[in-house]
Amino acid sequence: MKRSAGLFLVVAGLAQGGSILLQSGVSAGESNNITGTNVLIPMLEPGWTPDQGDGSSWVSFENTGWQIIAGMGSAVTTLPNAPGPTSPNARFLQTFTDNNGTTLTGNLLVWADDTAAVYLDGTLLTGPSFVQGVKNCSLGITCTGAGTSVPFTVPSGTHTLEFDVYQTGGWTYGLMYDGTVTDNAVDSMPEPGAFVLLGTGLAALAVGRGKRGF
Q: Give Cα separations from 192 to 17, 56, 126 (angstroms).
A: 15, 34, 42
Strand partners, 109: 149, 178
| pLDDT tens track for 113-166 | 999 999 999 999 998 887 766 656 887 899 999 999 999 999 999 999 999 999
Q: Is the pLDDT of residue 197 over 60?
A: no
**Helix ranges (DSSP H) in the chain:** 192-210
Return phi, psi of residue 117, to 5°. Answer: -115, 145
Sign of CA dihedral 24, 92, 144, 76: positive
Average predicted confidence (pLDDT) for the chain: 80
CATH 2.60.120.260 in the chain: give the residue spans.
18-184
Residues of the chain with pLDDT > 90, as a percent, come to 55
Residues 6 or more apart from 141 whose CB is under 8 A from it?
110, 111, 112, 115, 116, 117, 118, 126, 128, 129, 148
Amino acid identity for residue 103 in this structure = T
Q: How confident is the model at residue 64 (pLDDT cuts 50, 70, 90)?
A: very high
Strand partners, 149: 109
Which pTM does this prediction carry? 0.78
Q: How confident is the model at residue 185 (pLDDT cuts 50, 70, 90)?
A: confident
CATH number given to 18-184: 2.60.120.260
Residue 173 to residue 41: CA distance in whole angstroms: 10
**143 close to 45: Cβ distance less than 8 angstroms:** yes
Sign of CA dihedral 33, 129, 160, 149: positive
Collapsing DSSP to helix, strand or coil, 200 comes out as helix
Q: Is the pLDDT of residue 184 over 60?
A: yes
Average pLDDT for residues 41-68, to the nearest whole number? 92
